[in-house]
Amino acid sequence: MSKPGVAPPVNSAARLSHAFFNDQTLSDVRIEFNDQHIFGHKAILARQSEYFFRAFTGQFPVASSGTISLGDDDDPKAIHAMIRHLYDLPYDQASVLFSNSASADLMFHINVFEAADKYDVPSLRALVVGKFTGLMEQIWSAKREEVGKAIQRLCAPGAVSFADKSLQASAASFCSSHIMDLIQIDSFVTMLEEGEPFAGRLLTAVLRGNSGSVIRTSKCSKCESLPDSTIQANLSQKCIGCVSRSAYPHEAGFGGRFGGSPGSASPTTLQHYKNFLPL
């Protein structure tokens, strides 16, 4: 208890991180983006963001300016969320950011990660990866299309390019765990085929149990006891002998014949198969 007439001790960290968020008191910079603005404090913004640190300590005019413009390219909710984080506030507090939704969706987390990558806020990137991964698992059974679209945005041929690959690595790990279900989603299959046409189609056929219509090889004595279904589920169990013997692939719906054919002068070689199969 404080003595009469004496002000109670102040938690300076709490004052810096919370009380001054978007508060004009002692603000020395106005952050402008997408026709919006937030009153900021250079010392606070520079603590966790290399971008702001360099902007406010470099030789550029913005260092002494009372305004910094972030442009109109970023999702305004993501910028707002990032700045909340810089003030040690929850970046995904739904009641503040989303008037018509009870929670943040996967695309929001991706947008926030994109902003944290662009403005170099490593602490926020790490936080987003954890939230994103947990949310994917949480909604997977009920919102598979939404999860598929998020994976597409991160991993498709035209996906956004991040300096920090951790969110994309998280999405890839999720795909590995749920590949048998993801392969039933048409948009996911399309993404695979657009990225690597042959590999995508081969992987799709194998996982859907149709590899026999794509490529066939003979079995050697070492793997002849393995059932076809096992080989289809794991091509790595096909021994090298199986693809180096006198077996030739049949006509494939998307690829035709590979290399030579029975009776031709140039039979299919082991090296040719190694270019396509994960041996």
pLDDT (tens digit per residue) in 11-62: 555 455 677 899 898 899 999 999 999 999 999 999 999 999 999 998 888 8
* Cα–Cα distance for residue pair 274/236, rounded to 1 Å: 11
Work out the average pLDDT over 190-203. Answer: 66
Q: Class of 19-195 per CATH?
A: alpha beta
Pairing of strands 29-33, 67-69: parallel
Beginning with the edge strand found earlier in the chain, give each strand of the sheet holding 67-69 in spatial order.
36-40, 29-33, 67-69
Q: 28: how many CB neighbours lie within 10 A of its CB? A: 14
Looking at the DSSP bridge assignments, the partners of residue 38 are 31
pLDDT digits over 75-87, tens only?
999 999 999 999 9
Domain boundaries, the chain: 19-195, 216-274
- Give the per-residue pLDDT at 187: 81
- Report the alpha-carbon distance of residue 54 to residue 129 in Å, rounded: 25
Instruction: Give the tokens for residue 156.
Output: 């498709």
Tokens 């990032």 belong to 82
pLDDT score, position 119? 97
Quote the pTM value: 0.67
User: Residue 33's closest CA among 81, 85, 69, 6?
Assistant: 69
Exposure on the CB side of residue 39, measured as CA atoms within 13 A: 11
With the C-alpha atoms ordered 126, 128, 131, 133, is the resulting torsion angle positive or negative? negative
Predicted confidence (pLDDT) at residue 210 exceeds the cutoff of 80: no
Spatial CB neighbours of 47, under 8 Å, sequence gap ≥ 6 = 86
Q: Which of 15-19, 94-98, 174-178 has the highest mean pLDDT?
A: 174-178
32 membership: H or E segment, kind and range: strand 29-33
